[in-house]
Amino acid sequence: MTQMNWLVSYPEIVLLVATCVIALVDLTVTDPKRRLTFWLTQASLAVVALMHAMALRAGLGAEAAASSVYGMQGLVVSDPMGHLLALSAVLAVMLTIAYAGPYVASRDLLKGEFFTLALFSLLGISVMISANNFLVIYVGLELMSLSLYALVALRRDHAVSTEAAMKYFVLGALASGFLLYGMSMLYGATGSLDLPEVFNAIQAGLQSGQMNTTVLTFGVVFLVAGLGFKLGVVPFHMWVPDVYQGAPTAVTLMIAGAPKLAAFAVTIRVLVEGLTALAGDWQEMLIVLAVLSLVVGNLAAIVQNNLKRLLAYSAIGQLGFMLLGLTPTVIGSNTLSAANGYSSAMFYMVTYVLTTLGTFGLVMYLSRAGFESEEVADLAGLGKRSPWLAGVMTIFMFSLAGVPPMVGFYAKFAVLQALVTTNVTGYIVLAIVAVLLSLIAAYYYLRIVKVMYFDEAPAGTPAVEARGGVGALLACNGAAALVLGLLPDGLMALCRDVVVRALAG
């Protein structure tokens, strides 16, 4: 691990150079619609996506033990799991920017800063996904977070957005402090910040009985707290509803999409690749966070009338369900169920982001200048005003609710299967609790469908504006949620393969 091996970080280097070029080129753009900046951004993202796809294919073609390549003196790692998550994040940002175009243009937010900050946040996400060292994780986290804080506050003349940005910034700084403190305690106990060396030091220390387990446990607690904030799970969820509601919808989607993939990647890198020996501790914490998130998220969402706030509480419940997949993995010293649990959680996260992109994209599609389609009541009569849009929204709501044959059903089924196949009573009880709480969640998703098809639109409600390109993307997004539900095996097998290779590396 003493070689620099710049090839490992080529996608990130290309993304950084492209972002700087776009920021400079935008200074010369006089077109109010910023077509040049938009297409340069999308072209750059397409190149980065292609690089990750090629690296993913090459990694899957190699032997499992040789599919992980280290660079920057071991600070970063290139493996199939990282490339799959990074590819998903790049595609998520591409879709977000495409959906956001008409929305930001009608609100005087179509500026170069929107594109460059989005790209810098993606760069931070990519660094987090490929990190193999605690400090690299922190650098990527801060780059992503600071870009998102600025995006939330981009609408400077809007008091609600400014308030949301302040809340996000203050609580984000608190979460960063938790992570740093946890990292410092693990460094004090192991003498290293590199994840493989931390893993080896903990294994050796526990076997010899010379490791200070109290310091390790406290370090894990602070790390899980910081990760819980970035995922937005209870009791670290207090920022999610306010930021989702207060931020411009385009920025809300930027927060709700790709950053979740980065938080998932860091969770795997830190807890699984670095702290497997302490799985007994962090699994119990994740179980508590998961159950609390399912309870609070689903119950609070029932009473929400603001659509963005409802989807925020929905996200809390959804991510709580995802965390359940990370818990039935190391049982005693047995890791036979590990790949099954981690791959089911990864499949859940990727498909949840896919569905979230379409949901918020549709909310932006229904918005127009001077009108934010943020209330559940704003969807009334959509089945008559725009049947195809109502159909797409129904697909997304059914997927989030876990109704077959949508992809959300198979994602939930995969997590439940990972819990039940352990044959451990506690995990079977967890599966039953998750199913019961998902039934509660189905109420508020089906309520949205009911409003679209059975409630009458208020008099004078204008027709939905046609936006050909964005409408076609929404249709493709909805079709993907349906097709992946009908044919989930390919993506599920891919998630399992990359997870196995990551654990072998």
45-98 per-position pLDDT tens digit: 999 999 999 999 988 887 766 678 888 888 999 899 999 999 999 999 999 999
Q: Is the residue at 133 inside a domain? A: yes
What local confidence, expressed as pLDDT, does residue 65 receive? Answer: 61
Question: Which positions ≥6 away from 127 have C-beta within 8 Å?
Answer: 12, 76, 136, 139, 140, 143
What local confidence, expressed as pLDDT, does residue 114 receive? Answer: 93
What is the greatest pairwise CA distance in the chain?
A: 76
Residue 11 has pLDDT above 60, yes or no: yes
Please, are residues 450 and 383 in contact by the beta-carbon 8 Å criterion?
no
What local confidence, expressed as pLDDT, does residue 462 receive? Answer: 67
pLDDT band at 460 (very low <50, low <70, confident <90, very high): low
Residue 3 has pLDDT above 80, yes or no: no
Region 366-394: what's the mean pLDDT?
Answer: 86
What local confidence, expressed as pLDDT, does residue 258 receive? Answer: 92
Please, are residues 18 and 118 in contact by the beta-carbon 8 Å criterion?
no
* Count: domains in the chain: 1
Q: Is the residue at 144 inside a domain? A: yes
Tokens of 290: 């998961």
> Worst-scoring range by mean pLDDT, 92-106, 158-172, 327-341, 441-455?
327-341
3-class secondary structure per residue, 401-440: HCCCCCHHHHHHHHHHHHHHCCCCHHHHHHHHHHHHHHHH
What local confidence, expressed as pLDDT, does residue 150 receive? Answer: 93
What local confidence, expressed as pLDDT, does residue 126 receive? Answer: 95
CA-closest candidate to residue 111, choices 165, 154, 156: 154
Q: Give the model confidence (pLDDT) of 297-316 as tens digits.
A: 999 999 999 999 999 999 99
Residue 459 has pLDDT above 80, yes or no: no
Three-state SS at 467: coil
Q: Is the residue at 489 inside a domain? A: yes
What local confidence, expressed as pLDDT, does residue 66 receive? Answer: 64
Integer angstrom CA distances of residue 10 from 16, 130, 136, 238, 284: 10, 12, 16, 37, 38
What local confidence, expressed as pLDDT, does residue 319 receive? Answer: 95
Q: Is the residue at 460 inside a domain? A: yes
Residue 408 has pLDDT above 60, yes or no: yes
What local confidence, expressed as pLDDT, does residue 91 receive? Answer: 96
> In whole numbers, what is the pLDDT of the chain averaged over residues?
90
For the whole model, what pTM was predicted? 0.94
Q: Give the model confidence (pLDDT) of 19-29 as tens digits.
A: 999 999 999 98
Q: Is the residue at 1 inside a domain? A: no
CB-side exposure of 244: number of CA atoms within 13 Å? 24
Q: 69 lies in which domain range?
A: 6-504
Residue 334 has pLDDT above 80, yes or no: no
Q: Is the residue at 430 inside a domain? A: yes
Q: Is the residue at 251 inside a domain? A: yes
Three-state SS at 39: helix
DSSP state of 273: I
Q: Is the residue at 235 inside a domain? A: yes
